[in-house]
Structure 1
């Protein structure tokens, strides 16, 4: 297996963490007799040699040895090695490059057209795995079912004779006895239909034949999922009731697993194994179908409701997790499925309760149909794991994010404790005015924040945001204690000072006691934040205008990347502060017009908003909005808010607003990740878009 491994100059190669001198040790450990060693080695290969899908010279040098390991009969855990080889070989859609090897501001990634020397590595890796694809032919009949399961997909992706692969898959479907491998064969048929047009018709016909009643429910569900992705026109008209009936029948017939429980290592792979659903096979079947249905939200909601009505806990748990992808990516009316997810909070199964809370947590106000169940869980004094709690657990945080006043008493209890979770202040902010009774407690906790602790900022910042949201000016003394008392060498002091200034600005004229302290900051690193706050508190335009105009000035010689980013942020903050001054900031107009030609999309957007708020002239503003809206979806919320202020003057770009409202997809939806506030920000964008049209 390792012939020639010591002749490779591994030390001259690299992986994600530097020298690749340790790669031979990782490769040899993949053949260890100890399962924990094999798992740790595979985790190391993914973590360093194939880090986040990257291909290094050491990755290429590993390919022959990985093939030798994969083809060695009787070696345990070779299924994971086959999957690693397939991942090294390239993306599932058959492209060697592209599909997100990088993310630029305009959304362009690595792509085949990118002039990046590393692109050659991806091409060579794809060629190397294709050259060894004959190994996969023998592995589809291997004695190890995990190897057979992984090999069928690899064969489709890399073997250069698709008709031969199709015939082999059809033959294996007739002979294969393991349910999991049969499902993998069906998935491979669907992949073949998508990747190889010459075999599409025959593969689709095979999938259609597998949808019939002679076959077991799991196989039929797998075939329907693949049809949805490669030939949706061949799906049955009664798809959803058919799928729900098959799911329920399958769940009733599932036999308890006879496989020995495996102890997982403390690695990413081990963690993923522990997080797998109780019915991983069923989860994959329905996940495939949901993904293939895409924007067909009516069907997907009906399917979720069918899954959530199952008598089997695993089915309902899978449905909850699958709902997350639907909610994050697509816009629709979700009251019914959200209410059904809320019902799972009353389950005796900890796994199901935790799944339900995890999904409801990122829905914010969309979780309102589940608020009664959340409130009951909060009022019971237990968290989603059934443990007694008086802390900011996820059910309480989720209830507060709904804006539900029933969260207030429990949050008060949290705030009365000597140690308060750092996110409590942010959570309070989501409640709005109903959280007013909590303001004195926030003030008390702020008074207890030490002046010189490494976590001073972490503890103070959320409390400050909560106090600012509630406009609780009685806390001015506590804010000034931190502003005037923290040592200059304090960790994150600049960030703390900005947060303190913003809070004082939110208090407005009732914070006049802070004017001297804010004036002292007008010549320092936090001058922009101090000037903005001083304008809000005192209204002295003449004192703050020179500071903000100075912040708009072009930089001198280019400095470090960090310095450039800080200057960009400072100019954007100054533009926003000037916009809040309105017509009094007219001397800033030339500088703001210059910023609308900036290379930074956020800087251009902030400058354009300020131009409108100061001069009320749409002509220089709307072209910037149109370009930024298309270039970076993250700017749309800011632009839509300005369009609300513009009223009729914004009408020339209302086509963008109407297109946004008509789009079924959330504006931040993207492959490969999501943010915790993406759904909230999308709902706020939709609200602003509707208001902008109504205002015109």
Structure 2
């Protein structure tokens, strides 16, 4: 086959980074006797020719050569090549075809079609790979049995043979998964496969992990048919699996070189490290259990039962993965998560620092609902301080330092002052201070201690250097949230430096901070005023908002606001008009016209401003815009319900929409984030209760 390699016009094709002319060299390198050369070639193939799962025509054109390499027992690393073939086929199927193998409604890119057609033509080869003498090749090939064998009887037979021949837990789990994939892809195989899975799940002669896999994969095939007995059975098998599998310590993360401190902001480096952690899987059953949770989807109570068992697994890797899955459930689905929060909080133990760090991370992420875990977090920090002293924030043991910092951040986001000593230690020592800055704004009770330290950090930032704007912006946001006017001089200095060095993002952040201080920022009026004509798209509206907050001079502010309404900053101007209210009546004609704008993120803030300025007479038009926007784009819901809340009894026509919103099982609101959704639910319930209450309603308010 390799004799045909140079007869293909690779230069006429492209991969993720341009011409595919390098593909022949990569294919040759995959059979090199040098391990490093093979590794680099495989990484480059994944990075360019199969970039993030993409399948290009050059990817499809590579398949015959990859097959030849994988089939030749003299080729090193054959398992890696079989895994590559399966990955190309899986991505082609998932991105270009429905579950039953038919093409998706829109025409899939040709690379996907070509690749899947070729792999299905060679489906029998994966059955041969699955009987290979190399166990790694067999393991890599299993997924192909469900993806590429189109003969239902033949595929089912091979899978039965596979489950009988393999004794390793990973191979057996993959075989059962491949059977479910086959049942979903080939309807003719569905009946016999699902019956086989049911028999396998009920067979006491099988090991509990295989039985659990069969139970889960059958649920995956028919999630609408999951009965009340499925979750209790799964919990029992999960418990038995935990007893049967060996307990292994959590494998350490691969050591990666630290980026130079002057080459990248610490926040960015930390985000990449976090992404690296979140892509790791620590237990052999994790992928299987994720499949089960996906099949259960909105059944929060049943999923909590499963997670409660996972969280008490004797295997630390299983516990760590379970903590992470618990966070994903609480962030994605609504419901009463008190029990799950407490179970996650139970993982805050000094004997299990890595799992504890993950538990604290979940509690920080879920801070809008994490109050039940408050005392567990405080107790965990107390134990760490007692055992390691007051400087544990900067402990040399990285795992201890990480778990402590995560718990401090979680407690701080709950507004608990017991987090303050560690935050002060961070700011005083400058060890990972940026992590303390990110949560300091949640503790206004400690502003007298935090503000001087934050201001000192802000003064030390050199805005002429690269990678400093993220740190400056975070400090400015924290100072604005703390609201102590003592911070104004530091913010003004930062604003001057940002303007001088043309750091537009920092300029905007400083202006927002000054706006938060209101009249206390009057000393900065001259600088603010000069920025109201700035050319930067974000600086100008921020300057106008700060000008109004500091001076509250309507004569000076209104012409600037009206100009913004005629510019690209309509939403910013409308939000400020909400704050000004009835005195801004000069904006009414323009706001009424903007209700017909073709973008809902313009219509909604303009409708809110129209209500605040015009009041009851504008209510019908405002309601029409708000309700239509929320129905068409649920991401606007937070802004919509905030205005409905201010409209009082005039919001009554929106009651059905609000009830429908609360009935949704999945989190909603802007970005579908837990904080926006919890706010959305709270305000929606407040509005509904007020409108349904028989007591006389208070007059509609037009103020914020």
User: What is the TM-score normalised by the length of structure 1?
Assistant: 0.86
Aligned equivalents of 2:412 and 2:276: distance in 1? 30
The match for 1:54 is 54
Structure 2: distance between partners of 1:255 and 1:578:
64
Report what 1:145 is aligned to. 135
> Given the superposition, is the C-alpha separation of residues 292 and 618 from structure 1 closer, same or farther in structure 2, using an over 3 Å criterion?
same
User: Could you tell me how far apart the structure 2 residues matched to 1:66 and 1:262 are?
Assistant: 31
- SS of 2:245's partner is coil
2:428 corresponds in structure 1 to 416
- Alpha-carbon deviation of 1:354? 3.0
Q: Deviations over 1:650-681 (max 9, x none)?
A: 22233222122111111279xxxxx7x92222
Q: Larger deviation: 385-394 or 440-449?
A: 385-394
User: 1:648 is matched with which residue?
Assistant: 649
Query: In structure 2, do the counterparts of structure 1 residues 461 and 179 end up closer, same or farther at CA, with 3 Å as the change threshold?
Result: closer
Shift of 1:376: 3.5
- Partner Cα separation in structure 1 for residue 353 and residue 78 of structure 2: 33
Q: Which residue of 2 aligns with 1:524?
A: 534
Partner of 2:697: none
**Cα RMSD (Å):** 3.4
How far 1:396 moved relative to its partner? 1.4
| Aligned pairs for 1:141-180 within 5 A | 141-180=131-170
**SS of residue paired to 2:433:** coil
Note if 1:534 corresponds to 2:534.
Answer: no
Following superposition of structure 1 onto structure 2, how do residues 266-665 of structure 1 map, counting pairs within 5 Å? 276-279=280-283, 281-379=284-382, 380=385, 381=390, 382=392, 393-418=405-430, 421-433=433-445, 435=447, 437-450=449-462, 452-490=464-502, 493-525=503-535, 526-553=539-566, 567=568, 570-616=569-615, 617-665=618-666
Structure 1's 79 and 475: CA in aligned 2 closer, same or farther, altered over 3 A? Answer: same
Asked whether the 8 Å contact 1:637–1:684 carries over to 2, the reply is: yes
Distance 1:517 1:57 in 2: 57
CA drift at 1:456: 4.6
Q: Distance in 2 between matches of 1:54 and 1:277?
A: 23
Asked if structure 2 preserves the Cα contact closer than 8 Å seen for 1:425 and 1:467, the reply is no
Per-residue deviation, residues 322-348 of structure 1 (Å, max 9, x unmatched): 213312221122222222222222142
Q: Separation in 1 of the partners of 2:83 and 2:332?
A: 28
Identify the range of structure 1 (70-79 vs 284-293) with the bigger mean alpha-carbon deviation.
70-79
When structure 1 is superposed on structure 2, of 435-444 and 290-299 the one drifting more is 435-444
Task: Determine the structure 2 residue equivalent to 1:204.
Answer: 194
Does residue 686 (structure 1) correspond to residue 677 (structure 2)? The answer is no
Q: CA deviation at 1:186?
A: 1.0
Please say if residues 305 and 340 of structure 1, whose CA atoms lie closer than 8 Å, have aligned partners that are also in contact: yes
1:433 to 1:597, Cα distance in 2 relative to 1, 3 A:
farther
Q: Deviations over 1:436-487 (max 9, x none)?
A: 5423332333333335343453232222212211221122222222223445
Cα 1:363–1:550, aligned 2, differ >3 Å: closer, same or farther?
A: same
Cα deviation code 1:514-546 (max 9, x no counterpart)? 222222222223332222112122211110111
Partner residue in 2 for 1:134: 124
CA displacement 1:591-621 (0-9 Å, x = unmatched) = 3334333343322322222222222223232
Judging changes above 3 Å, is the alpha-carbon distance between structure 1 residues 484 and 231 closer, same or farther for their aligned structure 2 residues?
A: closer
Q: How far has the Cα of 1:209 moved from its partner? A: 0.6
Q: Is the 8 A contact 1:452 1:487 kept in 2?
A: no
Kindly indicate whether the alpha-carbon contact (under 8 Å) linking 1:140 and 1:148 is maintained by their aligned counterparts in 2: yes
Contact 2:345–2:377 under 8 Å retained in 1: yes
Quick one: distance in 1 between partners of 2:227 and 2:614? 59
The 1:320/1:261 distance shift into structure 2, 3 A limit, reads closer
Partner of 2:7: 7
SS in 1 for 2:596: coil
SS state of the match for residue 621, structure 2? coil
Higher helix share: 2
3-state DSSP of counterpart to 2:285: helix
**In structure 2, C-alpha distance between the alignment counterparts of 1:391 and 1:137, rounded to whole Å:** 46
Cα 1:92–1:245 shift into 2, 3 Å: farther
* Matched positions, count: 657
Going from structure 1 to structure 2, the CA distance change for 1:386 and 1:245 (only over 3 Å counts) comes to farther
Give the direction of change, closer, same or farther, for the CA distance of 1:272–1:175 in structure 2 (3 Å limit). Answer: farther
CA distances 1:339-391 after superposition (whole Å, capped 9, x unpaired): 22222221423432233233223111323333333324434254696666599
- Per-residue CA distance 1:294-340 (angstroms, 9 max, x = gap): 11111111111122223332332232122133122211222222222
After the TM superposition, which of the residue ranges 9-18 and 308-317 deviates more from structure 2?
A: 308-317
Distance 1:392 1:643, change over 3 A: farther
Cα gap change, 1:245/1:391 in structure 2, threshold over 3 Å: closer, same or farther?
A: closer
In the TM superposition, 1:79-158 aligns within 5 A as 79-91=79-91, 96-97=96-97, 112-114=104-106, 119-158=109-148
Q: Which residue of 2 aligns with 1:195?
A: 185
Give the whole-Å Cα distance in 2 for the aligned partners of 1:599 and 1:468: 34
Identify if the C-alpha distance between structure 1 residues 600 and 395 changes in structure 2 by more than 3 Å, giving closer, same or farther: same
Note the 1:37-48 alignment, pairs <5 A. 37-48=37-48
How far apart are the structure 2 equivalents of 1:377 and 1:33? 53
Secondary structure in structure 2 of the residue aligned to 1:142: coil
TM-score, normalisation: structure 2? 0.85
2:218 corresponding residue in structure 1: 227
- CA drift of 1:23 comes to 1.9
How far did residue 173 of structure 1 move? 2.4
Q: Secondary structure at the match of 2:527?
A: helix
Uncovered stretches (5+) of structure 1, i.e. residues with no partner: 100-110, 555-566, 670-674
Deviates more, 1:87-96 or 1:324-333: 87-96
Shift of 1:82: 3.2
SS at match of 1:344: coil
Preserved contact between residue 451 and residue 487 of structure 1 (Cα < 8 Å): no
Q: Distance in 1 between matches of 2:76 and 2:402?
A: 47
Alignment-derived partner of residue 28 in structure 2: 28
